[in-house]
Structure 1
Amino acid sequence: MPTPHLIPRRAAAQVDAALADTRVVLISGARQAGKSTLVRIVAGDRLAERRDLDRAQDRAAAIADPVGFVDSPELLVIDEIQRAPELLLAIKAAVDEDPRPGRYLLTGSSRLFGMVAAPDALPGRMETVELWPLSQGKLDGAPDGFVDALFTLGPGLRHESEVTRAEYAARIVRGGLPEATTRTDPRRRQRFFDAYVQALVDRDVRQLSDIQHKGELRKLVRLLAARSATVITANSLESALGLSRPTIARYLQALEEIFLIKRIPGWSRNLGTRATAAPKLIFVDSGVAANETATDARALLRPGAPFGLLLESFVLSELSRQLMCSEQFVDLYHYRDQSRYEVDAVLENRSGHVVGIEVKAATTVGPDDFRGLRRLADRLGDDFIAGVVLYTGTSTLPFGDKLRALPVSALWQVPAPPAD
């Protein structure tokens, strides 16, 4: 396996393309996801000046003289822009005066305009490239073409796998943060994850929200990990935490802004219903979620362990990674209706075509596992491309028209079809 820090990222091509026609490009994503490494790759042979707002002297200079700080005749790279959001107005003035593309390359570990102090300064001037932790395909040197293959081949997609349940468990607890993937000693990886989450709570969340109950926030993170891949509302957490609903809602928003969690909206053909449907919550990195539940790879396989929930969260996060670089423009949802029919993942492209995905931790599947997918197929008719149950078995199995069971490893081992 190649060294994670040197693994080529498809996001590099997106950033290159954006710099060619856009004045400001922002690479946003979780801390330790590889943003700085990506910047080094993209900057390459370009004439560029670089500043890092995690360094006290750079941050002090930025706050003291924003206009002077962003004055540069060549590409200016500014790391962790959320540390000095006042720079955005100075950048706006600079690119309005000189609208050449590729003026600024920014990185940020918080969604920039979710910050209270960030002015909405760059509409029409900035493109954002979101960077997730490494996918399983990147770690293995595998194709990562599942989403494009599924929309192209539909139920014709086939895949055979040799990955075992134990290997899936090991992948879940490893996650995709580059620093964690290099630590083969589980205890050292645990130390990394503990320090990682604590640093986010102590530093990054405080920039986004007025945190009055830091101990409860840390408890909230652990509680969310135990409920990964479930529908989460502030109301359901109120009694467990002893905090008000508005406080919990604010903390959930902050955890999403720093890329620790992701909320997946509910799907409906009715846009009004879709906007109000309760979201499903996953962790951006499955290794962090597993560590927060104090679960290692061996324990994950024991009866009563949260293998199913963590596997679903793992699959949803892998799908989210692929959607950033797939040829198909696809949005990710989940489905649940009043009759208790559910589908773990609903992928819908811009043409309204839909693929449904269920996740099962078992090595065998049966007709009942397709209940929600059949409901979705009935509702959508010809717009339903395929329904897939991803399971920990080894073979592709047919379960009716457009319905298939596929090994989970199809996510990263299936290549995308060749472009026309």
Structure 2
Amino acid sequence: MHFRSIYTALEAHLSKRQVTVITGMRRVGKSTAVKHLLSLVPHTNKLYLDLEKANNRFILNQSSYTDIEINLQVEGINFNEPAVIALDEIQLVPNSTSVIKYLYDTYPVKFIVTGSSSFYLRNHFTESLAGRKTIFEMAPLSFAEYLIFNEVEPTRLQPFALQAYQPAFYDRYQAHYERYLQFGGFPEVVLSETDKDKEQYLDDIINAHIELDIRLLSDFSVSDDLYKLMRLLANRTGSKVDYSKIGALLGISRHKVKDYLSLLNYTYFVKIVEAFTANADRAIAYQSKFYLSDSGLLNRLAQVSSGAVFETAIANQLANLGTVQYYQNRSGAEIDFILNGKKAFEVKETPTEQDAAVLKHRVKSTAITEYALIGRHRPSSDFRQFIWGGAIY
């Protein structure tokens, strides 16, 4: 088994009564995480149901709770003793939350569930399982996890996390990081051997996202418009959201664009980055930015500049560490990212002393005192006052 950083929190929650909810984009490793947790359960009164299989959906779609109980008993669950039931992709069974609530309140059952939509899980679980669940969001691999999947000992990595550029660390892992930027962090993609296989997996992820998650969770008749929007967003990753302009380019209404973009955000295909400001009213006035959730997906959907790929990867790497925003001052000058409201980052492929001076000047208009450049390539001079992108984890 390959270690994922989220496993520490998931393992700690396994012994708690609350429902363990794992959400995230399709193919990020949710099913593997569930099976890992089940392997840690010390007894045999446990069950895994993949709800993508019709016979498993049938179990939860019975007309009465009694019939559901009987079907689960047939599968080996003893409700007179503590049990663990894992339900994979629960958004495929609309009444699953009511079933979970009934069994949770009636029997000593621990549930572990997964789903591919934050909208579905947060809204349905908030309504029916208030106080009975904890939600864990799972993302594609961080770069540290990527290295571990490539059999790098994790203890080697921690001393360099978020530290200033170190030539020796850069030299050892730079080739890995370039592959990470090219193909992203989906586990199947990382573990596949050839570039052709990696590209095929990425295409499968895109198609599955449209055909399974979007069709299931939306009221839209999914058409070429959505795929065109995904391609357009890829070509504009890191840009501010202008619904009217995007709608005009695609020939659809700005309201449809807004609905589509919200859906892509809820299903983790894009990340929305809001403006950073101490004034909530001013924050509303600023347009949001968006980034694709994985640089591999970006490269399959569009041919963008290497700088756009790098900035997209950094947006996702920082998102693994907390809340990511961007800053814009009154004159329009920007800082690429603000992490957790405390530290400012400017992304440059080849950072320079001049870039550092510009960032220092822009930070003065904020209350932020910590800031750093993030760079991709080895500088041509002796300048080292930046964080290499491969150290963002």
SS at match of 2:221: coil
- Counterpart in the other structure of 1:191: 200
Task: Say if 2:16 is the partner of 1:29.
Answer: no
Q: 1:105 aligns with which of 109, 112, 117?
A: 112
Q: 2:361 aligns with which of 356, 374, 396?
A: 374
- Counterpart in the other structure of 2:166: 159
- Counterpart in the other structure of 1:411: 392
Say which is worse superposed, 306-315 or 22-31, in terms of deviation.
22-31
How many angstroms does 1:119 deviate by?
Answer: 7.4
Contact 1:53/1:79 (CA < 8 Å) preserved in 2? yes
- Counterpart in the other structure of 1:14: 9
Q: 2:372 aligns with which of 377, 381, 387?
A: 387
Q: How does 1:43-122 map to 2 (within 5 A)?
A: 43-46=38-41, 47=43, 48-65=46-63, 67=65, 68-69=67-68, 73=79, 74-98=83-107, 103-113=110-120, 120-122=127-129
How many angstroms does 1:369 deviate by?
Answer: 5.6
- Counterpart in the other structure of 1:138: 145
Contact 1:159/1:396 (CA < 8 Å) preserved in 2? no
Q: How far apart are the structure 2 equivalents of 1:66 and 1:145?
A: 52
How many angstroms does 1:389 deviate by?
Answer: 3.5
- Counterpart in the other structure of 2:308: 309
Structure 2, unmatched stretches of 5+, are: 149-153
Structure 1, unmatched stretches of 5+, are: 1-5, 151-155, 296-304, 324-329, 399-403, 413-420
How many angstroms does 1:27 deviate by?
Answer: 0.6
Q: Which amino acid counterpart does residue 369 of structure 2 have in structure 1?
A: F
Q: How far apart are the structure 2 equivalents of 1:27 and 1:359?
A: 31
Q: Which amino acid counterpart does residue 50 of structure 1 have in structure 2?
A: Y
Partner deviation per Cα, 1:46-73 (whole Å, 9 max, x = no partner):
1421111100111123222473547653
Q: Which amino acid counterpart does residue 141 of structure 2 have in structure 1?
A: L
Equivalent residues, number? 370
- Counterpart in the other structure of 2:345: 357
- Counterpart in the other structure of 2:189: 180
Q: How far apart are the structure 1 equivalents of 2:357 and 2:332?
A: 13
Q: How far apart are the structure 2 equivalents of 1:171 and 1:389?
A: 16
Structure 1 residues 52 and 65: CA distance shift in structure 2, 3 A: farther
How many angstroms does 1:282 deviate by?
Answer: 1.2
Contact 1:346/1:356 (CA < 8 Å) preserved in 2? yes
- Counterpart in the other structure of 2:323: 331
Contact 1:365/1:391 (CA < 8 Å) preserved in 2? no
Q: Which amino acid counterpart does residue 129 of structure 2 have in structure 1?
A: L
How many angstroms does 1:377 deviate by?
Answer: 3.4
SS at match of 1:170: helix
Q: How far apart are the structure 1 equivalents of 2:356 and 2:94?
A: 48
- Counterpart in the other structure of 2:278: 269
Contact 2:164/2:386 (CA < 8 Å) preserved in 1? no
SS at match of 2:128: coil
What is the root-mean-square deviation of aligned Cα atoms in Å? 2.8
Q: How far apart are the structure 1 equivalents of 2:247 and 2:68?
A: 45
Q: Which amino acid counterpart does residue 386 of structure 2 have in structure 1?
A: A
How many angstroms does 1:245 deviate by?
Answer: 1.0
Q: How far apart are the structure 1 equivalents of 2:254 and 2:360?
A: 34
% of aligned pairs identical? 24
Q: How far apart are the structure 1 equivalents of 2:146 and 2:222?
A: 37
Contact 1:113/1:120 (CA < 8 Å) preserved in 2? no
Q: How far apart are the structure 1 equivalents of 2:106 and 2:194?
A: 53
Q: How far apart are the structure 2 equivalents of 1:396 and 1:21?
A: 52
Contact 1:22/1:127 (CA < 8 Å) preserved in 2? no
How many angstroms does 1:313 deviate by?
Answer: 0.3
Q: 2:336 aligns with which of 318, 326, 344?
A: 344
- Counterpart in the other structure of 1:286: 295
Structure 1 residues 65 and 273: CA distance shift in structure 2, 3 A: farther
Say which is worse superposed, 9-18 or 156-165, in terms of deviation.
156-165
Partner deviation per Cα, 1:148-194 (whole Å, 9 max, x = no partner):
x65xxxxx845332279876443212111111112343233222222
How many angstroms does 1:242 deviate by?
Answer: 0.6
Q: How far apart are the structure 2 equivalents of 1:342 and 1:146?
A: 31
Partner deviation per Cα, 1:53-109 (whole Å, 9 max, x = no partner):
1001111232224735476530110000111131102222332345x6x71000111
